[in-house]
Amino acid sequence: MTEAKKIDDLKFDKKLKVAILSSFTLNGLDESLHVKCSKLGIKYHSHVSGYDQYNQELLNSKSDLYEFSPDITFLILDIRKFFGEYFFKLHTISDSEKESFLKEKVDVIENLIINFERNLNSKLVITNFNIPYYSPNGIIETKMELGFHEIIEKMNRAIIKISKTHSSVYVYDFNLFVSKYGEKNIFDYRQFHMGDIQIALNFIPYFANDLMSFIKPISGKNKKCIVLDLDNTLWGGIVGEEGFDGIELGHTPNGKAFVEFQKELLSLWNQGIILAINSKNNFDDAMKVIEEHPDMILRKKHFANIQINWNDKAENLKKIAEEINIGLDSIVFFDDDKVNCERIKFEFSEVLTIELTDEPSEFASILKDLNDFNVLQRTNEDRKRGEMYSEQRERKKFEKTISNLDDFLKGLEINVKIKKSSNFLIPRISQLTMKTNQFNLTTKRYQEEDIENMTNNPSISVGCAEVSDKFGNNGITGVYIVKKDEKFWMIDTFLLSCRIMGRGVENAILSQILLDAKKNNVEEIRAEFIPTQKNKPAENFLSEFGFEKQNNIWIYKLNNEIKLPKHLKVEIE
């Protein structure tokens, strides 16, 4: 709380408006979120409702909450106040009365959500209810038709069901939080009776850290790549000294711990997190383990980039970022060597560096405790990303066999499929606007609700591009949003994933926008380039295509010839 008072928010560019509504006292949560956001370079603004005023805030369309217009709202409720007197006497009423009571409470939650969505176009995170270890039914709790615990479980399942039908609503598992840290630690009766404090003050930072799991992806601050050391990180021992048969991997307690760690990493890879290697080692010795060891979980195909050499690890890390084409701020680096960790921290403060302990059994827990890999929606592109980066390695190999860029591009057999936005595509389109930085003309960020509204607006064209070649499908990797007027169209958003930059795909997409405008008798296309620290690759795109700058607007007259790239095929779906 003291630290929060010292923060200079003016030095941060990225803004986030956060609202906190609760049914009990939450001293310190606002300050904890403020501190954690500032460490990510986020300018934090907040609205904290009055004590137990969440109903008034959500149901009144002119409330301070709606006036504040937050990007994300946390609705934090407690089971005692929500159930009222029935918290202590549910076991005294009939089963039919219990069912009626439960339906009434579910309707209350849904009504609050409906009012929120009616007044705000943003995210709502609602907590579920913790299930107290105590039940008035004692040992026959599980024998009851509708026991005390079962009713709360039903309430929690109902909240999850509601969230699945409201795209802007997410559920935070507060019951799991209490389970993780222990009810007797979280709920301090002395603090509760003093001021209705239901999360002990010393656990507020842990609670805030969990809520940051939602803030990071909504702010584009989540990570997308894990870079790993090898010796004493993916296996025990030094392969160059102990040899293939001497390392610890499987069978021994430590060996089993390394296998567990690799399994957790593979799980993240299957969810779209990129893996890479940065190791000081003999290449052949290390690759033999990766490709041949029977207990190795991660194989060569799982790594988008492999830097196994005796070079400086900071230089290797920079090379990994450049070759994968991601920002250093997208990387989490794991290493057991304190010197290497300090080197990376000193050189690249934007990299999240994890210094592993001497106890391999803790590695999996350290990884699982990170909340930097969350997404608000998992798309097909996320699930296939690992395979896509394996295919990217093959493209790199192919590129090295051909000296002429034009021949390389023709040899890729690129196909660009232009698609109009749809319910199925909205999550991916939003995701790309939230995280694409390098080839992005305006870097405007749009949540799913924003994309949905624009998709349903006849005066706005929202589309995307699916790109494939002879090595595989890159998925949806381009997005455009065009606002239409009778005489001119304005390009609001135009972006391309870093994975497919430099292949002429951007020219293919833009040429189709121009052709569409010309068919509709539009006289000119207008666009902006808003420079940021990261979108330098898009700086000359408009001028090189033929746009001319007038004041701060780039204009393309549609009586000009429209450039059509010849090395690729374009389909309109």
Q: Which residue has the higher pLDDT, 185 or 486?
A: 185
Instruction: Say if residue 118's pLDDT is above 70.
Output: yes
**Element (DSSP H or E) covering residue 517:** helix 505-519
- pLDDT (mean) for 275-294: 95
Instruction: Say if residue 342's pLDDT is above 90.
Output: yes
Q: How many structural domains does the chain have? A: 3
375 SS3 class: coil
Say whether both 313 and 361 belong to one domain: yes
pLDDT tier for residue 38 given thresholds of 50, 70 and 90: very high
Instruction: Say if residue 147's pLDDT is above 80.
Output: yes
Say whether both 164 and 51 belong to one domain: yes
222 by Cβ neighbours in 10 Å (0-12 / 13-18 / 19+) ranks as buried
Say whether both 238 and 346 belong to one domain: yes
Closest to 170 measured CA to CA, from 340, 434, 11, 377: 377
Say whether both 249 and 201 belong to one domain: no
Say whether both 37 and 151 belong to one domain: yes
Say whether both 271 and 348 belong to one domain: yes
- pLDDT (mean) for 565-570: 89
**Element (DSSP H or E) covering residue 184:** helix 183-186
Do the domain assignments include residue 60? yes
Do the domain assignments include residue 324? yes
Most confident segment among 238-247, 363-372, 529-538 = 363-372
Residues 267 and 272: their CA atoms lie apart, in Å, by: 9
pLDDT tier for residue 304 given thresholds of 50, 70 and 90: very high
Indicate the residue among 218, 248, 269 that finishes a domain. Answer: 218
Do the domain assignments include residue 499? yes
- Kindly report the CA angle at 232 between 229 and 238, in degrees rounded to 5? 100
Percent of the chain residues topping a pLDDT of 70: 99
For 163-196, how does the pLDDT look when each residue is reduced to its tens digit (9 = 90+)?
Answer: 999 989 999 999 999 999 999 999 999 999 999 9
Say whether both 162 and 75 belong to one domain: yes
The confidence score (pLDDT) of residue 439 equals 92
Say whether both 207 and 279 belong to one domain: no
Say whether both 495 and 462 belong to one domain: yes
Residues in Cβ contact with 431 at an 8 Å cutoff, skipping those fewer than 6 apart: 375, 376, 377, 379, 381
Say whether both 448 and 535 belong to one domain: yes
Do the domain assignments include residue 174? yes
Instruction: Say if residue 438's pLDDT is above 70.
Output: yes
Do the domain assignments include residue 315? yes
For 502-539, how does the pLDDT look when each residue is reduced to its tens digit (9 = 90+)?
Answer: 889 999 999 999 999 999 999 999 999 999 888 898 99
pLDDT tier for residue 384 given thresholds of 50, 70 and 90: confident
- Tell me, what CATH number does 213's domain have? 3.40.50.1110
Query: 222, 374 in Cβ contact below 8 A?
Result: yes
- Tell me, what CATH number does 337's domain have? 3.40.50.1000
Say whether both 242 and 206 belong to one domain: no
pLDDT tier for residue 226 given thresholds of 50, 70 and 90: very high
Structural domain that includes position 324: 225-369
Indicate the residue among 183, 218, 253 that finishes a domain. Answer: 218
Do the domain assignments include residue 296? yes
Instruction: Say if residue 324's pLDDT is above 90.
Output: no
Indicate the residue among 345, 369, 393 that finishes a domain. Answer: 369
pLDDT tier for residue 10 given thresholds of 50, 70 and 90: low
For 388-418, how does the pLDDT look when each residue is reduced to its tens digit (9 = 90+)?
Answer: 887 777 777 787 787 777 888 888 889 999 9
Query: 320, 276 in Cβ contact below 8 A?
Result: yes
Say whether both 409 and 356 belong to one domain: no
pLDDT tier for residue 64 given thresholds of 50, 70 and 90: very high
For 188-224, how does the pLDDT look when each residue is reduced to its tens digit (9 = 90+)?
Answer: 999 999 999 999 999 999 999 999 999 999 988 899 9
Residues 159 and 170: their CA atoms lie apart, in Å, by: 9
Instruction: Say if residue 292's pLDDT is above 80.
Output: yes
Instruction: Please give the structure tokens belonging to residue 154.
Output: 């039903």
Do the domain assignments include residue 396? no
- Tell me, what CATH number does 413's domain have? 3.40.630.30
Which residue intervals of 138-182 are DSSP H helices?
Answer: 148-164, 174-181
Question: What letter would DSSP give residue 50?
Answer: P
Do the domain assignments include residue 49? yes
